[in-house]
Structure 1
Amino acid sequence: MNMLRKTMSVVAVSAAMLAPIMSTNVFAATAAPEQQATANLVKQLGNIKSLTANFEQTTKVTGGSKVAQKKGLSAQHMNQTFKGTMSVARPGKFYWETTSPAKQTIVTTGRTVWIYDPDLQQAVRQNLDEQVANTPALLLSGNTNQIMQAYRITQPDAGKTYYTLYPKQKDGAFQSLTISFGVNKAPSLMILQDSLGQTTTVRFNDVKVNPTIPESKFNFVPPKGTDIIDQ
């Protein structure tokens, strides 16, 4: 499993699992029709022109460490919390830097995605179109038409601002993504599930909506001596 999957690794959670997290309502939630759910998410994302946040990411495997070992997953990775920062400027500009326990940077200006690993002195260059369904956080910087083409969007509770997205491509890196928005209309939580049984939770904090972000933040230039790999 490469570092991209470690950093952005994913999987989905059912509405039943999310109910205790997202709502204290004891009554059954009424899901929004899919067309309305899509319109609601598009409007929610439309309020975000730029965004900065810190994040904490943890990954668990259904069945515990023994199941993880059988699937070839690192028990150490399952127990780690990855921390870092994120910057977004719509449309198409995205910066995701993991600072702990290891460093890695993912950055795009709209066409090409760079994945830079300073420890390996390696930078992977990928086409953005191929990554939109495999790198969930990119949806925060993407255009809404692209999101609608890449995902089937549901809203498990029409009265709550959280959505579960299912990639239309069946061979993607994850099976589903749930994103929740806080009172400031900014993303506060992502929960993802992949085909290996991993559930990844990403919590955002110190979120700032529509700040001014320098253009240079998104202009990645591989340091001298970096091995560049095109995929």
Structure 2
Amino acid sequence: MNMLGKTLSAMAIGAASLTPLMVTSTYAAPATEQVATQNLVKQLSGIQSLTANFEQTTKATSKAKNNKALTAQHMNQSFKGVMHVQRPGKFHWQINSPVKQTIVSTGRTVWIYDPDLQQAVRQNLDEQVANTPALLLSGNTAQIQQAYRISQPDKTKTYYTLYPKNKEGAFQSLTISFGAKNAPTLMILEDSLGQTTHVRFSNTKVNAKIPASTFNFTPPKGTDIIDQ
């Protein structure tokens, strides 16, 4: 899996992994799927733009450790950067350390730029890419409802677990938690290779103005462009 997969996929796991963070000793029943879906749609509809720092950490589960296709480098990775989101369908995901990589969605096209490789991958924002977690915060809520089965494990708390209806996707489940002022605080992903990724957000600003140029991308001169 290349870094596009690690980044766009890098935000899932079921509620069990969130127990130490989100569940108290007081039991509350889960919401029905219909209510959970309505609540998440309402939560996402309040976000028109979003800016945040992120710290992304991927670790291997026992399943991944038995996967011979994965190396030690794949299994334990950490990245830091900045995210900008603008509805509908626009985002700018900038990894700053330990390597640099830029992923930009214009709303119709996704660019993945690796300056060290002087390479840019260009993809249409088709249905397959639109179902990736990075677009959860910037996507159309109707498309999200079509793409995911949504649960709310504790109806008194604002965290949700989403399961892709397309079983051939890169991840198996995605959990997202919201904090004050409708701001997402955490995404956790469990991918199909058996890796678990936590993405923690900080310095989050909801509905602040973002310059339109943030979501434009022009490959630097000399960049090798690959169309997929």
TM-score, L = length of structure 1: 0.92
Say if 2:80 is the partner of 1:83: yes
Output the amino acid matched with 2:50.
L
- For 1:143 and 1:89, locate their aligned partners in 2 and report how far apart those are by CA, in whole Å: 11
Match of 2:94 in 1: 97
More divergent stretch after superposition (136-145 vs 76-85): 76-85
Distance 1:11 1:115, change over 3 A: closer
1:162 maps to 159
Q: Give the alignment's Cα RMSD to 1 decimal.
A: 1.7
TM-fit CA distance, 1:20: 2.0
Instruction: Give the structure 2 partner of residue 17 of structure 1.
Output: 17
> Secondary structure, in 3 states, of the residue corresponding to 2:171?
coil
Per-residue CA deviations over 1:41-63 (Å, capped at 9, x if unaligned) read 11101111111000000011112
Cα distance in 2, alignment partners of residues 87 and 61 from structure 1: 28
SS at match of 1:184: helix
Q: CA deviation at 1:165?
A: 0.6
Matched with 2:36 is: 37
C-alpha distance in 2 between matches for 1:13 and 1:90? 25
The share of aligned pairs that are identical, in percent, is 71
**Where do 1:1-231 residues align within 5 Å?**
1-10=1-10, 12-24=12-24, 26-63=25-62, 68=65, 70-129=67-126, 130-133=128-131, 135-231=132-228
Q: CA deviation at 1:70?
A: 4.1
User: What is the TM-score when the length of structure 2 is the normalising length?
Assistant: 0.94
Gaps of 5+ in 2: none
Q: Distance in 2 between the 1:78 and 1:101 partners?
A: 15
Distance in 2 between the 1:70 and 1:137 partners?
25
